[in-house]
């Protein structure tokens, strides 16, 4: 149990709804383990109250906050400074109050890449399919393009959003946010079975960046109605609740390698922890408490 006093430093998370968030559990476990006088709270912030909530970070002298659905994109105009990466992605998930200046970061990108490489997948030169074009898909697509993939197919239910994302990623490549070398093939497609089959056929990695399969609708899958998948296909599902989604089960049945979303959640949280405290995050402690909670 944390000992709250008048000196305790406060960090929080803004979201709506927020009751399901595991961030307080993960961060408080880390503070407790390191003996830090910090406390992490969840704030239910309605979209219409976001501006005042952000102003309150300064007014209440909070150390900072994490930002989750549905505020990650809408929060940008209320900040004093936004990191280059977060501006590129167009989404902020971490706000640090640095001496009264509110600075926005995106730790989803590095959280995704760290977890991907940790699972033994190096994206350089690989053929990748990303399903989704929301905030998470944006972080994933920029991350992969920066790592020099061979090709990136982005499929989304709303094709216009996939097209706009491919445009943004291509523009970032022209502006040099990627290692030198030949440019990747980047294409937007609709989320239809015919397009999916074609995209998956020769892919090395498939990333689900939609909310399909997430609790409470665990019977959903972006590959509903698919038989077996190519056995060399690595399947990464960003959904972390449940830990084993319908998509992950299909990939396992196909004898392919699978990566669940929990490690990305831990890695992005660890990066935020380091921004807030300036200290190295106790990853094992955070992992243990999150695995137990799942």
List interacting residues with ligand NAP (CB under 6 A): 69, 108, 111, 132-137, 156-158, 161, 191, 209-212, 214, 238-240, 261, 264-265, 268
Query: Least distance (Å) from ligand NAP to the CB of residue 146?
Result: 17
Task: Give 36 or 247: the residue with its C-beta nearer to ligand NAP.
Answer: 247
How far from the centroid of its chain's Cα atoms is residue 139's Cα?
6
- In whole angstroms, how close is the CB of 203 to ligand NAP at the nearest point? 18
Contact 30, 285 (CB under 8 A): yes
Q: Where are the beta strands (DSSP E) in 180-278?
A: 185-190, 205-208, 234-237, 258-259
Residue listed under structure tokens 């399909």: 212
Structure tokens at 26: 């993960």
Nearer Cβ to ligand NAP, position 36 or 251? 251
Closest-by-Cβ residue to ligand NAP is 134
Q: How far is the CB of 89 from ligand NAP (least distance, A)?
A: 11
Is 72 a catalytic site residue?
yes
Contact (CB, 8 A) for 203 and 125: no
Q: State which residue, 132 or 148, has the beta carbon closest to ligand NAP.
A: 132
Among residues 72, 126, 127, 246, the one annotated as catalytic is: 72
CB of 117 to ligand NAP, least distance (A): 15
Estimate the share of the chain in helix, then strand, then coil, as percent rounded to the nearest 5. Answer: 40, 20, 40
Among the listed residues 267, 280, 275, 262, the one whose alpha carbon sits nearest the alpha carbon of residue 108: 267
Q: In angstroms, rounded to a whole number, what is the distance separating the alpha carbons of residues 186 and 136? A: 17
How many angstroms separate the CA atoms of 169 and 267, rounded?
Answer: 23
What does the block give as tokens for 227?
Answer: 């038989």
Measured from the CB atom, is 136 or 152 closer to ligand NAP? 136
DSSP per-residue codes, 35-97: T--EEEEEEE--GGGHHHHHHHHHHTT-SEEEE-TTSTTTTGGG-SEE-HHHHHHT---EEEE
In sequence order, which residues have a C-beta less than 8 Å from that of residue 241 and are 6 or more positions away?
Answer: 20, 214, 215, 294
Closest contact distance (angstroms) between CB of 213 and ligand NAP is 8
Nearer to ligand NAP, 53 or 133 (CB): 133
CA distances from 197 to 74, 122, 194, 277 (A): 35, 23, 5, 46
Report the residue number, 86 or 209, with the smaller CB distance to ligand NAP.
209
Give the shortest CB-138-to-ligand NAP separation in angstroms: 7
Residues recognised as catalytic: 72
């Amino acid at each position: 149990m944390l000992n709250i006093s008048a000196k305790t430093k406060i960090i929080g998370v803004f979201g709506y709804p927020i009751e399901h968030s595991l961030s307080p559990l993960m961060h408080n476990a880390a503070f407790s383990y390191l003996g830090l006088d910090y406390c992490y709270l969840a704030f239910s912030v309605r979209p219409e109250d976001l501006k005042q909530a952000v102003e309150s970070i300064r007014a209440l002298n909070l150390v900072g906050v994490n930002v989750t659905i549905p505020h990650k994109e809408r929060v940008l105009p209320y900040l004093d400074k936004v990191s280059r990466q977060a501006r590129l992605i167009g989404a902020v998930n971490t706000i640090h109050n640095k001496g009264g200046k509110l600075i926005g970061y995106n730790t989803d990108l590095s959280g995704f890449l760290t977890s991907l490489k940790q699972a033994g997948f190096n994206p350089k030169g690989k053929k990748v399919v990303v399903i989704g074009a929301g905030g998470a898909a944006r972080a994933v697509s920029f991350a992969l393009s920066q790592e020099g993939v061979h090709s990136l197919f982005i499929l989304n239910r709303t094709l216009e959003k996939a097209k706009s994302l491919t445009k943004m990623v291509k523009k970032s490549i022209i502006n040099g946010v990627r290692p030198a070398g030949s440019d990747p093939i980047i294409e937007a497609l609709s989320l239809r079975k015919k397009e999916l089959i074609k995209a998956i056929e020769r892919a090395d990695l498939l990333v689900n960046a939609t909310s399909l399969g997430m609790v409470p609708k665990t019977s959903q899958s972006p590959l509903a109605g698919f038989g077996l998948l190519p056995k060399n296909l690595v399947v990464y599902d960003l959904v972390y609740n449940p830990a084993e989604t319908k998509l992950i089960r299909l990939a396992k049945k196909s004898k392919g390698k699978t990566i669940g979303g929990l490690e990305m959640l831990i890695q992005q949280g660890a990066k935020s922890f380091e921004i807030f405290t300036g200290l190295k995050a106790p990853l094992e402690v955070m992992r243990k408490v999150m695995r137990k909670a799942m």
